[in-house]
Amino acid sequence: MRLLDVEAVHAAYGPSEVLFGLSLGVDSGEVVTLLGRNGMGKTTTVRTIMGLMRASRGRIVWRGEPIANRPSHVVARLGLGYVPEGRRIFPNLSVRENLLVAGRRRDGGAALWDLQRVLDFFPRLADRLDNGGAQLSGGEQQMLAIGRALMTNPSLLVLDEATEGLAPIVREEIWRRLHELKGTGVAILIIDEELDELCALADRHYVIEKGEIVWSGDTSALQADARVQAIYLAV
């Protein structure tokens, strides 16, 4: 079942247009990447999906319902969990408070992701439960940001730069957890620079260049297309 459709979306910062008719989609339980060099519009795309930026044209459809330009808190309540670039945890709240403030049940039922399940998923957070967000390492902050998004019990988890700036051992742990998360059936839309890890995790990929999707396909097609990797992804 299609969860998310982004259809010919345009978005701009003031007079400077960044997205030019961008389209992509995510199905239920699917892991999809948004790939491209820095400055090509990846973060703008997910911010527009989440209602943090205005779409000047085009449609954003969630489970068949148009959601473009709805307030971000409304979008989040529909079942889209967001882990932003830079993590954006609450530095003056404890780990426990950061998690509990985001907790909600989906459709009035029992919570699938609650405090204990998040702590079981990220045991490091259990050891830091009463520490303030500002007292955590970068890797622990990223775990907290993911855990906070999971506390909303999302159907789609959107991650912007999931492992940027993390130590190798922490990156490995994050990737392991994302593989586990995929096994639970949560759909994922992910931005990251680790192409090998993304190919091991994801079902499909979109490549963005200057605000437009220039290529899309599954993992085997991406791995076989040296031209796309060289032109659009190589640093």
The CATH number covering residue 60 comes to: 3.40.50.300
Q: What are the φ and ψ backbone dihedral angles of 30, each rounded to 5 degrees?
A: -95, 150
Same domain, 10 and 50: yes
Specify the pLDDT at position 111: 56
Do 59 and 99 lie in a common domain?
A: no
**201 and 160 in one domain?**
yes
Distance (Å, rounded) from C-alpha 47 to C-alpha 53? Answer: 6
| pLDDT score recorded for residue 9 | 98
Residue 208 within any structural domain of the chain: yes
What pLDDT shows up at residue 86? 75
Same domain as 99, residue 67: no
The pLDDT of residue 83 is above 70: yes
Output the pLDDT for position 105. 66
Same domain for 35 and 91, yes or no, is: no
Q: Does residue 113 lie in a domain region?
A: yes
Listed in sequence order, the residues at least 6 apart from 173 whose beta carbon sits closer than 8 Å to its beta carbon are: 139
Note the pLDDT of residue 106.
62
Q: What is the pLDDT of residue 10?
A: 97
118 closest CA partner among 110, 130, 126, 106: 126
Domain range enclosing 95:
80-154
Asked which of 109, 135, 154 is the last residue of a domain, the reply is 154
148 part of a folded domain = yes
What's the mean pLDDT in 89-101?
87
**How many domains in the chain?**
2
Report residue 90's pLDDT band, with 50, 70 and 90 as the boundaries: confident
pLDDT-based confidence at residue 103 (cuts at 50, 70, 90) = confident
C-beta of residue 75 within 8 angstroms of C-beta of residue 82:
no
Same domain, 73 and 120: no
pLDDT at res. 85: 83
Residue 46: count of CB within 10 angstroms of its CB: 24
pLDDT tens-digit series, residues 160-218: 998 888 889 999 999 999 999 999 999 999 999 999 999 999 999 999 999 999 999 99
Please indicate, yes or no, whether residues 230 and 139 belong to a single structural domain of this protein. Answer: no
Q: Please indicate, yes or no, if residue 89 is contained in any of the structural domains.
A: yes
Do 210 and 96 fall within a single domain?
Answer: no
Does 91 fall in a domain? yes
Residues 6+ apart with CB under 8 A from 211: 17, 18, 19, 20, 22, 40, 41, 44
| Whether the predicted pLDDT of 230 surpasses 60 | yes
pTM over 0.75: yes
CA distance 159 to 15: 27
* pLDDT per position as a tens digit, 23-34: 999 999 999 999
d(CA 217, CA 235) in angstroms, rounded, equals: 21
Q: How far is CA 223 from the centre of its chain?
A: 22
Residues 6+ apart with CB under 8 A from 224: none
Residues 23 and 134 in one domain: no
